């Protein structure tokens, strides 16, 4: 049997709760789920799902947003209300 080691890391509380719920529904512990993930990474030598950058945070979009805020502060542009419901 392989030597078992502990790995500690931090997660956002909501992320942890959501993962625990899914793991429970699957009949897995979080430890088992992370072990499955780690084995797959080791076997495939890659993250086993697509990892991409959110385009919202791109330099181009951040510059656009900063300009829009500047324009609004200068009295230019229009403020639109957004209904989140």
Q: How many CA atoms lie within 13 A of 26 on its CB side?
A: 13
Give how many domains the chain has, as a whole number.
1
pLDDT exceeds 80 at position 81: yes
68 in Cβ contact with 77 (< 8 Å): yes
The mean pLDDT of 30-53, rounded to a whole number, is 93
Would residue 4 count as lying in a domain?
Answer: no
Q: Is residue 83 part of a domain?
A: no
Looking at the domain assignment, is residue 80 inside a domain? no
Q: Is 28 a member of any domain?
A: yes
> For the chain, what's the residue count?
85
pTM, full prediction: 0.59
Query: pLDDT tens, 53-79?
Result: 788 888 999 999 999 899 989 988 777
8 domain-assigned: no
- Asked if residue 1 is part of any domain, the answer here is no
Domain limits for position 55? 13-73
pLDDT at 40 over 70: yes
Does residue 2 lie in a domain region? Answer: no
Q: Which of 4-8, 26-30, 40-44, 77-81 has the lowest mean pLDDT?
A: 77-81
The reply to whether 67 falls in a domain is yes
């Amino acid at each position: 049997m392989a030597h078992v080691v502990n790995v500690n890391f931090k997660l956002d509380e909501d992320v942890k709760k959501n993962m625990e719920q899914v793991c429970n529904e699957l009949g897995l512990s979080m430890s088992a789920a992370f072990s499955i993930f780690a084995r797959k990474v080791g076997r495939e030598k890659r993250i086993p799902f697509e990892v991409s950058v959110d385009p919202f945070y791109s330099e181009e979009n951040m510059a656009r947003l900063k300009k829009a805020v500047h324009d609004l502060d200068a009295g230019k542009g229009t403020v639109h209300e957004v209904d989140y419901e």
